Amino acid sequence: MRHLLTGTIAAHGMALGRARLVQPSRYIVDTRPLAEEEIEGELLLLHRALDTARQELRELRGKLHGALAREVNEFIDAHSLLLDDAELLRGLDDLVRIGHYRPGAALKKQRDRLSAVFEAMDDPYLRSRKEDVEQVINRVISALQRQTSPEERKLAARVGEILIADSIAPGDMAQLAGNGLLGVVASSGSAYSHSAILARSLGLPMLVGTRDALSNIHDDDLILLDAERGEAIVHPAAQDLSRYRAWQREAAIEGRRLAKLANAPTRTCDGIEIGLLANAETAADVAMARARGADGVGLYRTEFLFLKHKGLPSEDEQFIAYRDLVMGMGGLPVTIRTLDLGADKADAAGLSLRGEDNPALGVRGVRLSLRYPAVFTTQIRAILRAACYGPVRVLVPMVTQPDEMIAVRTLFKLARQDLKRENVDLPEKLPLGAMIEVPAAAINVRALLEYSDFLAIGTNDLAQYVLAADRGNDALENIYNPLQPALLRLLSHVISAGRRAKKPVSLCGEIAGDVNFTALLLMLGLCEFSMHPSQILHVRDRLATLDHADLRRHAAQLLRAHTHEQAEALLNRIVGASAPN
């Protein structure tokens, strides 16, 4: 019988497939107490499952590259650390050896106990970490069950299916996407989470907050996932399937129409030129950016060079990667962001830092680079050498105060002098910009502009820091919203300061590639957007429908909004009124 469930759209699209439930919290576990003679054998099964889970994470890390690796590796690292946590392992062993629990029951008890501990924490960030604990132990439970049920197919091998889950880790989504996953319905989660962002990049339709999904959907149910309306339909009726086929035809037509925009100029309907840049990390990203008519690369992430193997990359290795990037863009400008790692990833890159309670607020970005000037200078030399092959800008992440930009400029000057003595060809100029993602940098942006040739706003982190809200925490959806007035006023302040200083300002956060926010950013005065290459044609198409002058006239009205609900209502009214006839 047809049954309709609703949720929040995290990634648009539609898909038709068989449901595959992932309900580790509902795994049937054997609760019979162990006999004394069974303990050693069951411990062996438990440790074998733990080893399997560790090996799965190692293999997954080895398979990922590029943008996927950046989004996913921090979660893989966190999960790997949990699997080696001495307290967790000791607790499991004690439950089996002393409490006579069977491995599945021990894992479930530990998961429930630790989840309760995290749930009781006052700190929203720490409270949200319970999801990591649950996902790690669920992975071990799954590995344990595969030992006793060899006929069960591995999750990664499933194709043509809609995944139904409490939540899905970015690593699992990346792994499944390569094996034919059609879409995701999650009973929890946020549209701004890493998994949601990854789904959009992968083109996978996704709903989150579909509260009754696990209790109303069964394995192998036929599911129509409609992430245009925010619906998941169990056992769709003929009219539902007809709508899906119509959507497929329209999507194909729309795809062909958008493809024609690849070589079109980027202009608003009143003729204002807007720059569309690409966020890139791999050769595939660069190729897609060129194919879709990007005006350049607005953010090239260099972390993958430091994370793809143990140890630090050499100057030549970095030079080759940067040179290939510059040449791949065929004379279009490229913005290379210097190393943006924190203490949570520094060890993997060969940089030793003591553990930090909160790496997001610790030694990361430019703070890490200035702490290791020799490592930073190697990167600077590689960038300077590559900049002879085409126009290059350098973007410095996590800037907080002008002193950091002064220090970076000094290191560039010294590296240039050394290379000149070595008779190495050097670019005549190399613009140096600050990434605005720390509230202090945004508030004090005028001082930073004295030492910066351009600015790039990183709204993903800036929003989290301004609003004190983890974007992946679905309990904070009402707070983490790009239309929050405090964030809008800060964005306007930064963009206006750049315009007055006659220095370029781009925005490279997730909202740059979201057509729902294109009008908003135009209204705030932004003229340079940087996004995942897959979004370029969609944003170019959206810009052609917007009247720049009319939107700008309403900016002051929008900035007087008191709440994000007011801002959204105003934006919708203004955009509707200014739409061309």
How many C-beta atoms lie closer than 10 Å to residue 161's C-beta?
22
Residues 54 and 195 in one domain: yes
Structural domain contains residue 259: no
pLDDT for 436 equals 98
Residues 202, 283, single domain; the answer is no
**Residue 568 pLDDT > 60:** yes
Q: Does 131 reside within a domain?
A: yes
Is the pLDDT at 149 greater than 50, yes or no? no
| H or E element, residue 10 | strand 8-11
Residue 153: pLDDT above 70? no
- Pair 231, 6: CB distance under 8 Å: yes
pTM of the model: 0.72
Q: In this structure, is residue 364 part of a structural domain?
A: yes
Residues known to be catalytic? 194, 508
Judgement on whether residues 374 and 493 belong to the same structural domain of the protein: yes
Q: Can you tell me the distance from the alpha carbon of 347 to that of 363, in angstroms, rounded to the nearest whole number?
A: 12
pLDDT at 198: 82
User: Who contacts 319 (Cβ-Cβ below 8 Å, separation ≥6)?
Assistant: 381, 382, 385, 386
The answer to whether residue 229 sits within a structural domain is yes
Angle subtended at Cα 97 by Cα 91 and Cα 103, rounded to the nearest 5 degrees: 70
Q: Are 5 and 212 in contact (CB under 8 A)?
A: yes
CA 539 – CA 531 distance, rounded (Å): 9
More confident residue, 121 or 534: 534
Residue 508: the pLDDT is: 93
101 occurs within a structural domain: yes
CA 229 to chain CA mean position, Å: 24
Output the pLDDT for position 554: 94
Task: Name the residue range of residue 189's domain.
Answer: 3-247
Is 396 found in the same domain as 475?
yes
- Assign 147 a pLDDT band (cuts: 50, 70, 90): low
Q: Strand, helix or coil at 18?
A: strand
Q: Looking at the predicted structure, is the pLDDT value of residue 318 above 70?
A: yes
273 secondary structure, DSSP code: B
Q: Which of 192, 213, 247 represents a domain boundary (last residue)?
A: 247
Residue 206 has pLDDT above 50, yes or no: yes
% of the chain at pLDDT higher than 70: 86
- Mean pLDDT, range 37-64, rounded to an integer: 80
Digit-coded pLDDT (tens) for 85-97: 777 888 888 888 8
| CATH number for the domain harbouring residue 117 | 3.50.30.10
Structural domain ending residue among the three candidates 231, 247, 263: 247
Q: Which residues pair with 234 in a beta bridge?
A: 3, 223
Q: What is the pLDDT of residues 326-364, one digit of tens each?
A: 999 999 999 999 999 865 565 555 566 666 667 778 888
Q: How many Å apart are CA 295 and CA 265, to the nearest integer?
A: 10
Predicted pLDDT at 305: 85
233 and 300 housed in the same domain: no
The model's confidence at residue 156, banded by pLDDT at 50, 70 and 90, is very low
Same-domain status, 277 and 199: no
Q: pLDDT tens-digit profile of 381-394? A: 999 999 999 999 99
Residue 263 has pLDDT above 80, yes or no: yes
Whether 182 contacts 225, CB under 8 Å = yes
Q: Is the pLDDT of residue 151 over 50?
A: no
Interval 77-90 mean pLDDT:
77
- Residue 378 above 70 pLDDT? yes
Over residues 267-295, the mean pLDDT reads 93
State percent of the chain over pLDDT 90. 53
Which sign does the torsion angle of CA 90, 96, 101, 106 carry? positive
The answer, yes or no, to whether residue 539 has pLDDT greater than 90, is yes
252 occurs within a structural domain: no
Output Rg (C-alpha) for the chain, integer angstroms: 25
Torsional sign, CA 182, 12, 285, 415 = negative
In a shared domain, residues 514 and 406: yes
* Residue with token string 């790997």: 80
Q: What is the pLDDT of residue 125?
A: 53
402 CB-contact burial (10 Å; exposed 0-12 / middle 13-18 / buried 19+): middle
Confidence of residue 130 (pLDDT cuts 50, 70, 90): low
Name the strands in the sheet holding 14-22, side by side, starting at the edge strand that comes first in the sequence.
3-6, 231-234, 222-226, 14-22, 161-165, 183-186, 206-208, 8-11
In a shared domain, residues 239 and 320: no
Lowest mean pLDDT, pick from 112-126, 246-260, 453-467, 524-538:
112-126
Number of domains the chain is built from: 2
d(CA 482, CA 567): 10
Question: What is the mean predicted confidence (pLDDT) over 241-263?
Answer: 92
Inter-residue contact 530 to 459 (CB < 8 Å): no
- The DSSP element (H or E) to which 29 belongs, if any, is none
Averaged pLDDT for residues 304-328? 87
Query: What pLDDT was estimated at residue 27?
Result: 54
User: What would the 3-class secondary structure string for 172-227 be?
Assistant: HHHHHHCCCCCEEEECCCCCCCHHHHHHHHHCCCEEECCCCHHHHCCCCCEEEEEC
